[in-house]
Structure 1
Amino acid sequence: MSRICELTGKGRQVGHNVSHANNKTKRTFLPNLQNVTLISDSLGRSIRLRVSTHGLRSVEHNGGLDNWLLKTRDEDLSLRARRLKREVRKASTQTAEAA
């Protein structure tokens, strides 16, 4: 299982451990990923995702998964998030037409 956020696409970064003697050795910085269940109001179901804590804070700040997906540009989303955004947009337009 890859260490990539399913919403933001945030992945690992590469850097150095630097010793007191200024020796540098390669290391990786992994994102803080959590398995979460987010509820989509327009789809009427819950969605299980592996999200970074930064991405989770962004979703909560924007008022939920649906609002966050609709506000975020497609270039900033992962493939699975783009598909989810398409479903949310389709469901929200259908409910708007029915009302």
Structure 2
Amino acid sequence: MSGKHAIHLFKRAQRGLFAGKMKMFGNKISEEGGNKTRRCWNPNVQKKKLFSEILGESFKLNVTTHALRCIDKAGGLDKYLLNTTDKDLNSLRGQQIRKKIQSAMHTTTQE
């Protein structure tokens, strides 16, 4: 590794929109002795039904609360998926929905 941390995405993140949030690891330190115990923190994942205005349909997705805030900030699911880069999106399901949106936009502009 050339000074950068290797990013390992777990499969669950590929099936939803996690907006870069991953499982994190660290130590729980006891108050009295300062003993360290390994533990992990999971992303706050919610099952949500998100509506695509361009496609006119809803998608059931596992979404982190951070991704929900990003979607709200972008102005909706369509704008979030279209304006987010592949590197930041990091989701196969998100890329599939983006391709559907792009093809729907392409067909409406041709007509």
Deviant stretches of 4+, over 6 Å: none
Structure 1 residue 97, shift from structure 2 partner: 2.1
- 1:89 maps to which of 102, 106, 111: 102
Conserved 8 A contact 1:14-1:26: yes
Question: Which whole-Å CA distance do the structure 2 matches of 1:91 and 1:3 have between them?
Answer: 27
5+ long unaligned stretches in structure 1: none
- In the alignment, which of 83, 102, 111 is matched to residue 71 of structure 1? 83
**What are the Cα deviations for residues 43-96 of structure 1, in whole angstroms up to 9, with x where unaligned?**
110000000000011001111000000000012221111111111111112112
Structure 2 counterpart of 1:50: 62
Q: 1:79 to 1:9 in 2, by over 3 A?
A: farther
Structure 2: state its 5+ residue gaps.
1-10
Report deviation, 1:10: 2.5
User: Aligned to 1:37, which of 49, 52, 65?
Assistant: 49
- The separation in 1 between residues aligned to 2:61 and 2:38, in whole angstroms, is 30
Report the aligned-residue RMSD: 1.6
For residues 23 and 3 of structure 1, the distance between their equivalents in structure 2, rounded to whole angstroms, comes to 32
- Inter-partner Cα distance in structure 2 for 1:10 and 1:85: 20
Q: How many residues align?
A: 97
Q: C-alpha separation between the residues in 2 aligned to 1:58 and 1:9?
A: 11
